[in-house]
Structure 1
C-alpha cells in the first residue's frame, strides 16, 4: 500500500436515536450554540485539508436532516441514507455505498456524531501519526480515574488497575479494505477498533485530550458548549 496515493474519507454514523438523552429528537440534531450538535464536528471534518469527502450515514427514514441548512459546510459533505440498527451496521453500510469511490488502500476516519468538540488539531495529529501505519489507529486518552468493577447490586467487587488502560475516542482511522472486511465479520462491536482487533490486528493509540468528549447525557451538552466557547485559539 502506497501512503502517498491514499485519500482520506470521513464517515459519521448518525442513524441513532440517542435515547439516553431523553429528548424528543435524535441526539445529533439537538441544538448546540445555535446549530445542530452534529454540525460542529462536520464543519471541522469538511474544513480539514487532509479529508477528501465527508459522508454522513443517516437512517433511511430520517426526516430531520433536510430541515437544516448544511450548505455552509461546502461540497465535501454527502449524506447517505443507508444507516442500520447499530453503529457497526451504519458504518458498514456507508463503506459498501462508497465502494465505487474509495480505493482499498484509502483511509477511512470514522467519527461519532455525538462528539461535537472535535478540533482541527485532533484530525491533523491522527492523520500525521498514522500516515506510515499499515493498519491504522484511533484517538484515545489514558485512563486517569480509579476504576471499580461492580456486582449486580452496585457493590464493589474489585479495583481494576488502570496502568496501560486507555479510553477510546474518535475519529478512528483505518484502511478501507481492512475496515470493511473486519466489520463484515465482527458486527457486534461498539467501535471500529474492536472489529480490527477481532481480525487479529493491532491498532495504534494516538493520544487525544478530554475536550473531545461524547455527548451522552443532558449535562454533556453544557460541557460541550463550554468547551466550544472557551478554546478558540488553542492548539494543544
Structure 2
C-alpha cells in the first residue's frame, strides 16, 4: 500500500441534544468524561488501533481550549483549529488542511462514536482499499420503522364533536405510516473515500445546495454508490443523555 490513510475527526460542535432539559453543561459533548477519559480521546484511540492509519487529524473550532488537553500524549494525532459552522464545512476544511493527495484515503469518524471496535474498523479498511468508490460502516435496520405525522389530524369522532381531546395531545407525535424496512441501513462512521473524490463531492454539494448529513450523502449526490460495510452495535453515536451511561458500560 503506497497511498496514505488519513483519519479526520470533526469535533467543532457542541452536542446540545446530549444534555438533559434544564441541565447546564460547561463542556461540549465530545469532552465529557466516559470511563475516566474524554469521549473524544476514546474515539481517537479507536482509530489509532489500526496501524494502517498514518495520522488522525482532529478538527476543532478556532476558540477550542479543550482538545489539546484531551489528546495529550497520543501518537499520530494532530489537533487543527479549522472547524466550521457545519459538519460538512469542518470536514472540507480539515481535508484542505491535511494536504492529502487525490489518491490518499480519508476516513471520517464521529467524535461521538467512542465505541468503534477494532474489527469493524479493519473490516471497513480491508473492503474499501479494493473499491473504486469507498464506503461506510452501517447496520441493517432490524426494528419496525414508523414515520411521524407533521400535524395531528382530527379523528372522525373529533369532527363529530363526540370526543374531547386535551390540547396538549396535539403536541405529541403520532404515526403517519409504517415504512418498509427492506433494504434500509443505519449509517455509522468511519466513512472512507479517496481524498479527491470526497473533496469534489463536498464542493459540488455546497455549490448545489445539497444537504449533507454525512460524507456518503455528498458522494451519493455526486453520482457514486458507496459500499455498505457491516458495522457494530457498539459503534452507536452518543446523542442523548442516557447514551452516556450505556456507552460507559461498554468502555
Is 1:169 equivalent to 2:167 in the alignment? no
Which of 113, 116, 128 matches 2:114? 116
Tell me what 1:54 maps to.
Answer: 56
State the 1:59 CA deviation: 0.5
In structure 2, the gaps of 5 or more residues are: 20-24, 153-172
CA distance in 2, matches of 1:135, 1:104: 13
State the 1:24 CA deviation: 2.4
Tell me what 2:145 maps to.
Answer: 147
TM-score, normalised to structure 1, is 0.91
Tell me what 2:164 maps to.
Answer: none
| Helix, strand or coil at the partner of 2:233 | coil
| Helix, strand or coil at the partner of 1:55 | strand
Tell me what 2:223 maps to.
Answer: 200
Which ranges of 4 or more aligned residues in structure 1 deviate by more than 6 Å?
Answer: none
Which one has the largest radius of gyration? 2
Tell me what 1:15 maps to.
Answer: 12
CA distance in 2, matches of 1:184, 1:110: 16
Q: Deviations over 1:140-199 (max 9, x none)?
A: 000011011111242211110000000000000000000011011214301000000000
1:120-131 matches, within 5 Å, as 120-131=118-129
Tell me what 1:233 maps to.
Answer: none
State the 1:69 CA deviation: 5.3
State the 1:15 CA deviation: 0.2
Q: Deviations over 1:3-50 (max 9, x none)?
A: x32210000000001111123210000000110011111112123111
| Helix, strand or coil at the partner of 2:193 | strand
- Once the two structures are overlaid, the 10-residue window that deviates more, 47-56 or 198-207, is 47-56
Q: 8 Å contact 2:46–2:114 — kept in the other structure?
A: no
1:217-236 matches, within 5 Å, as 217-228=240-251
In structure 1, the gaps of 5 or more residues are: 229-236
Q: 8 Å contact 2:116–2:232 — kept in the other structure?
A: no
1:67-82 matches, within 5 Å, as 67-68=69-70, 70-71=72-73, 73-74=74-75, 76-82=76-82
CA distance in 1, matches of 2:70, 2:98: 24
CA distance in 2, matches of 1:156, 1:26: 33
Is 1:159 equivalent to 2:178 in the alignment? yes
CA distance in 1, matches of 2:18, 2:230: 28
CA distance in 2, matches of 1:134, 1:146: 33
State the 1:67 CA deviation: 3.7
